[in-house]
Amino acid sequence: MKLGVFDHMDRGLAPLDQFFEERLKLVEAYDKAGFYGYHVAEHHATPLGVAPSPGVWLAAVAQRTTQLRMGALVYLLPLYHPIKLLEEICMLDQLSKGRLMLGVGRGISPIELRYYGLDPEKTPAMYAEALEILLRGMTQSELTFHGEHYHYDAVPMEMTPYQTPHPPLWYGLGRKEAIPWAAKHRVNIVGNLGGAGMRALTDAYRDEWEAQGNDPADIPLMGTGRHVVVAETDKEALEIARHGYGKWRESFLKLWIQHNQMPVAHAVFPPTFEEAEAQGRAIAGTPEKVRAFLQKTVDEAGLNYLLCRFAFGDMTGEESLASVDLFTRKVMPDLMDAKR
């Protein structure tokens, strides 16, 4: 069982320079505490994400940490020139001495894709070609590729990753149809479903993993994310969570509301933190309450990885650090020691 952190890097109330420094201090705390991985979202033209260039942010993270693995969850591949991104990935993996996690996807928001002049109907094919280019380019000394969207002839691959053959792959997965591909490529997955929905995915992944002749002990990580606030009392934790969640959700929905659209079904979050908690998507309370909730989440969904959102909305840096400190001392050890 491993624990990680997911960060939307959504805009709070602090000026951006202060915001970035407070987040870096949080990242240092994650590193010191022994979290397995730190995952940052990529969004554009929205307060949901003020790290629209994940590579720039991750370069800073790499210099402030020594053990923590890090990566975008996910890089929106259609927005990049594939060779440019390939070089960036190699740089980050070298700078971090092999701590990069390569999250890939095509983007959940058609609104953001259109801002970049892309047709959302074409981005799945662009994503598939770009991913193939990335994987080829990290394992070959020269790249040749001819597809519908990208064409390269004998491009020298001067940059190489630290990890071989490439950094581990991560993907946001919400449907069983993608599981054979994920198992074949040893992809770590993160879902945004409830307990029963995630259990169906993790069971299917385990079945497919073994059907392909793999050792069950070597199965990739399968996780989901939860908003988490820990405090000395339930009342204090809930007060922090309420205001943080409200601001986070406002940022999450801003573009969808502005364009009079609804987000995809699995990305619809309820209006209040209490409702999110009732749905099993968030928790705020004492260490004992949080530990019991998260253990139930792991058991019901069949997870071997759990991502926590400790900083969201207008939570202050001090509030997030205090929550992480309590989690590290009074929640984390039992979760990591639990036998599955």
Residue 142 lies in a domain: no
Q: What amino acid occupies position 7?
A: D
CA gap 294, 110 in Å, rounded: 32
Residue 331 lies in a domain: yes
Residue 276 lies in a domain: yes
Q: Are 3 and 30 in contact (CB under 8 A)?
A: no
Cα–Cα distances in Å, from 245 out to 74, 228, 308? 22, 10, 14
Helix and strand totals (H; E) in the chain: 12, 12
How many structural domains are present in the chain?
1
Residue 183 lies in a domain: yes
Locate tokens 């990049």: which residue?
Answer: 80
| Segment holding 190, helix H or strand E | strand 188-191
pLDDT value of residue 83:
97
Q: What amino acid occupies position 315?
A: M
For range 101-119, the mean pLDDT: 94
**pLDDT tens string 144-203:** 999 999 999 999 999 999 999 999 999 998 889 999 999 999 999 999 887 788 999 999
Residue 84 lies in a domain: no
CA gap 234, 118 in Å, rounded: 46
Q: What is the CATH number of the domain that holds 28?
A: 3.20.20.30
Closest by CA to 325, choosing from 239, 231, 241, is 231
Number of CB atoms found within 10 A of residue 141's CB? 9
CA gap 222, 203 in Å, rounded: 10
Query: In 83-146, at which residue ranges do the beta strands (DSSP E only) sit?
Result: 102-105, 142-146
Residue 135 lies in a domain: no
Q: Are 237 and 286 in contact (CB under 8 A)?
A: yes
| Residue 271 pLDDT greater than 70, yes or no | yes
| Residue 262 pLDDT greater than 90, yes or no | no
Residue 161 lies in a domain: no
Locate tokens 């945004």: which residue?
Answer: 192
Residue 326 lies in a domain: yes
Residue 307 lies in domain: 2-73+169-337
Q: What amino acid occupies position 223?
A: G
With bands split at pLDDT 50, 70 and 90, how would you rate the model's confidence at 265? low
With bands split at pLDDT 50, 70 and 90, how would you rate the model's confidence at 340? very low
Number of CB atoms found within 10 A of residue 102's CB? 26
| Residue 339 pLDDT greater than 60, yes or no | no
Angle CA 267–187–142, to nearest 5: 120
CA gap 104, 98 in Å, rounded: 17
